[in-house]
Structure 1
Amino acid sequence: MGKLDAFTRALDYPVYVVTAAAGDEQAGCLVGFASQCSIDPPRFMVWLSKANHTYRIARNASHLAVHALRNDQKRTAELFGSRTGDDIDKFEHVTWRRPAHGNAPVLEDACAWFLGRIESQVDGGDHVGFLLAPVEEGPPGPSRPALLLFSDVNDLSPGHSA
């Protein structure tokens, strides 16, 4: 048992789909390690596993798109969390578009999203943190929906091990 296991078992936090594009490749994955990390200037940190196909695309990307999912979107979470872009094109199974800035795919049915310019990358061990400066965000929805949480997806088998 690791030194953070007891602490992290007590947490239940939102999960996100993060997408990236570089050159003619695009990718996306389900992410549990992400958080706002500054108010002024606004910044958000997303951590991607080094074993992940999305990480290999993101390290050459200029922007990442971060999507919050509603709690009824487990199917989308399963697609981006249990499948790997090494084997399938995940974007054939969702409706998406290119944002006005950057080229990371934006999922049309996400309840909230933002596009962030990658300011820096931080090696954190088996994950790399991408510090994002928001440049575009989706319009707010009519209400604040219940978000998909880690406890909703902790039964998924990952497309890649961390």
Structure 2
Amino acid sequence: MVPVTLAAIDSGLFRRVLRRHAAAVVVVTAPGPAGFTATSFTSVSLDPPLVSFCVSRTGSAWPAVSAAPLVAVHVLTADQEPVARIFATPGIDRFAAHEPLGTWHESPDGVPLLDGALAILICRVENQFEAGDHTIVVASPIDAAHHDDAEATPLVYHDGEYVALGQGASTGLL
């Protein structure tokens, strides 16, 4: 049994532990254009449909995301690792750097949409909650699209590296 303590763990141990958690890689975009790579995306509720993601308040995308009524969440394919790296790079024009890797366009509401994603959700921002140095954004999907290629695999972040989710996982129980 792990002993329970009331003190918080140090940030180094916290990072090492969280590196063991595999997470899907998404790029969140907002009008501006602005965008960032995240692994904090998750579904929150089915009724009503809600999703969430976390954004750093010190990141360059924060001003645009914090003011945006709509955002887009792009679930990246394994082939889009370079896109994940670009949108994770601070201090650059991420949309200009993205152009050689793929195209993007604006939705009728001005939300940047990256072509080639495994899935895209366009979401209305419902709530924002401060949490440490990040803000948790809760959003309601209002439109969605997904990749038609059944063989396309998602990009996953695990142990500090981008990896492709393996094919052929067992579907049965032991």
Question: When the two structures are superposed, what TM-score results if normalisation uses the length of structure 1?
Answer: 0.82
Question: 1: distance between equivalents of 2:84 and 2:94?
Answer: 15
What residue is the counterpart of 1:160 in the other structure?
A: none
Cα 1:60/1:68, change in 2 over 3 Å: same
For 2:47 and 2:137, locate their aligned partners in 1 and report how far apart those are by CA, in whole Å: 17
Q: Give runs of ≥4 in structure 1 deviating > 6 Å.
A: none
Q: Tell me, yes or no, if structure 1 residue 37 matches structure 2 residue 6.
A: no
State whether structure 2 residue 140 is matched by structure 1 residue 133.
yes
Partner residue of 2:103 out of 95, 103, 107: 95
Identify the residue that residue 16 of structure 1 maps to in structure 2: 26
- Say if 2:74 and 2:120, in contact at 8 Å, map to a contact too: yes
- How far off its partner does 1:91 sit? 4.4
C-alpha displacement of 1:90: 1.8
2:88 aligned residue: 81
Q: 1:139 to 1:89 in 2, by over 3 A?
A: closer
The one-character-per-residue Cα deviations of 1:40-79 (angstroms, maximum 9, x if unpaired) are 1010001101111111111111111000111121111111
Unmatched runs of 5 consecutive residues or more in structure 2: 1-9, 163-174
Aligned residues: 149
Partner of 2:57: 50
Q: Letter of the 1:96 partner, please give it.
A: W
Q: Which blocks of at least 5 consecutive residues in structure 1 are unaligned?
A: 157-162
SS of the counterpart of 1:51? coil
Shift of 1:139: 4.1
Q: CA RMSD in A?
A: 2.2
Distance 2:29 2:37 in 1: 9
- Structure 2 residue matching 1:143: 3-state secondary structure: coil
Identity %: 25
- Higher strand proportion (structure 1 or 2): 2
Q: Tell me, yes or no, if the aligned pair for 1:112 and 1:141 is still in contact at 8 Å.
A: no
